[in-house]
C-alpha cells in the first residue's frame, strides 16, 4: 500500500508543497511499483497493464520536463527513486 503523506513529506520543497514536479514523480513511482508487483502475480490483467502504461507515460513526460528545467534536481531525483535515465541527446 502507498503511504502518500510520507512520500509527499519526503519530496516536498516546503511545508504545503503537494503538487510540485518532484512530488508528482515520486507518487507516480510509488503507484508504478505497486502496480508492477500486482501484475507479476496477475499476468492476465490487461486493464492493469494499460493503467501501468499510462502511468509510465505520465511519469516520463514529467521527468522530461524536470530534465529540461532543472537538470541537477532531475539527476538527484532519478538516483533517489532508482529510475533509469534515458540517453541524453546533444543537439
How does DSSP assign 35-64, residue by residue?
A: HHHHHHH-TT-HHHHHHHHHHHHHHHHHHH
Which is nearest to 61 in space by CA: 25, 27, 29, 33?
25
Q: Which cell is 1 given?
A: 500500500
- What integer pLDDT is reported at residue 85 of this predicted model? 85
* Residue range 66-78: mean pLDDT, rounded: 93
Query: How far is residue 91's CA from residue 77's CA, in Å, rounded to a whole number?
Result: 24
* Residue range 9-19: mean pLDDT, rounded: 90
pTM of the model: 0.90
Amino acid at each position: 500500500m502507498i503511504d502518500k503523506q510520507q512520500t509527499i513529506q519526503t519530496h516536498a520543497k516546503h511545508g504545503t508543497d503537494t503538487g510540485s514536479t518532484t512530488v508528482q514523480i515520486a507518487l507516480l513511482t510509488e503507484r508504478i511499483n505497486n502496480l508492477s508487483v500486482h501484475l507479476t502475480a496477475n499476468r492476465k490483467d490487461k486493464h492493469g497493464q494499460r493503467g501501468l502504461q499510462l502511468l509510465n507515460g505520465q511519469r516520463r513526460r514529467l521527468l522530461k520536463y524536470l530534465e529540461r528545467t532543472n537538470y541537477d534536481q532531475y539527476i538527484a531525483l532519478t538516483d533517489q527513486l532508482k529510475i533509469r535515465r534515458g540517453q541524453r541527446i546533444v543537439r
